[in-house]
Amino acid sequence: MPIFEGNKDKGIQRLFIEMPEAAKNQVVWKYTDDQILQHSTVNVDLDYVAVFTNLGKVIGTLPAGRHKLGEGASLTLGWLVDRLTGNAYYDAELYYVATRDIADINFGGPIDNVLDKPSGLIVSLRIFGNLAYKVVDPIALIAKLVGTDGDYNHDAQIVEWIKDQCLASLRAILPPMVVDHGVLLLGNIQDQAIAATLAKANSQLSLFGLAVETFAQFNINASDEDLAKIKQLSEAKAFTEVAGSYTDYAKGQAMIDIAKGVEQGNVGAQPGMMVGMMMGTNPGGMPQSQPAPQYPAAPPVTPVAPQAPV
């Protein structure tokens, strides 16, 4: 007696195969039964493709639509029929793989410590972004990344792999750009950084049937502390070039700071300090003491002995 005759508990449900509603937000979903009834109907939604595997290898796919499995069907599975079941089952696994864009994936983290050439400082850069990706080769995805073991949700594994590749690509292409342009001008090279990151990341992701379609957000920045240091040094450099020397710049900056204090009502001894800085006096407004002039010492006097009278 064929085994099939002793497996009527699932009844007619096994003749109609489709994804449950609860699984339709997953990128990859595995059909829970490894024995697929011959002549059953497989329903594939518009944004999915059905992938059949056997012994860890992909043996065929079905596009969106309704497909009846049997001799002469678009998917030839006849040679996989299990003879022990009276030719009733296909010995195969079935996966549904999404073909739509998967959007709103947040990613980010530290990039690297890079040299900001204009300031000479080492700056810690980081990225915060949002991306959309797509499965471009379902067969490669299952064969090389997801695998055919287990029936768990693979979405987290796929997303982590994409994030890792994006960060690795950014760490490779960004430091030379920062050296050439500086941290304060990162906004000017954002389009260039996005294009380079997409190209490098997708060159690796394509091997696994994946591709990043676009970055909805791509924010590269440094810490507030590092940015403050860079801005301060940039201002000092600019004013020094105008003032002629850093000392003159420092005096001018001090006068500006004092003037702001006076404007805010913090008068005290500040007016005297301003006058002193302008006239070369001390902060209290009194003339600075000058060292006493130095004169050469007088030559020693040689005593003359008195002469005897003639």
How do residues 15-32 score in pLDDT, each as one tens digit?
888 999 999 999 999 988
Residue 56, burial from CB neighbour count under 10 angstroms (0-12, 13-18, 19+)? exposed
> In this structure, what CATH number is given to the domain that contains residue 184?
3.30.479.30
pLDDT in tens, 121-175: 888 888 999 999 999 999 999 989 988 766 567 899 999 999 999 999 999 998 8
Owning domain of residue 58 = 11-98
CA distances from 145 to 72, 153, 154, 201, 271 (A): 32, 13, 9, 16, 73
Residue 107 lies in a domain: yes
Alpha-carbon gap, residue 161 to 168, rounded angstroms: 11
Query: Which one of 226, 241, 259 terminates a domain?
Result: 226
Do 54 and 113 lie in a common domain? Answer: no
pTM for the structure as a whole: 0.67
The 3-state DSSP class for residue 309 equals coil
C-alpha–C-alpha distance, residues 146 and 32, integer Å: 16
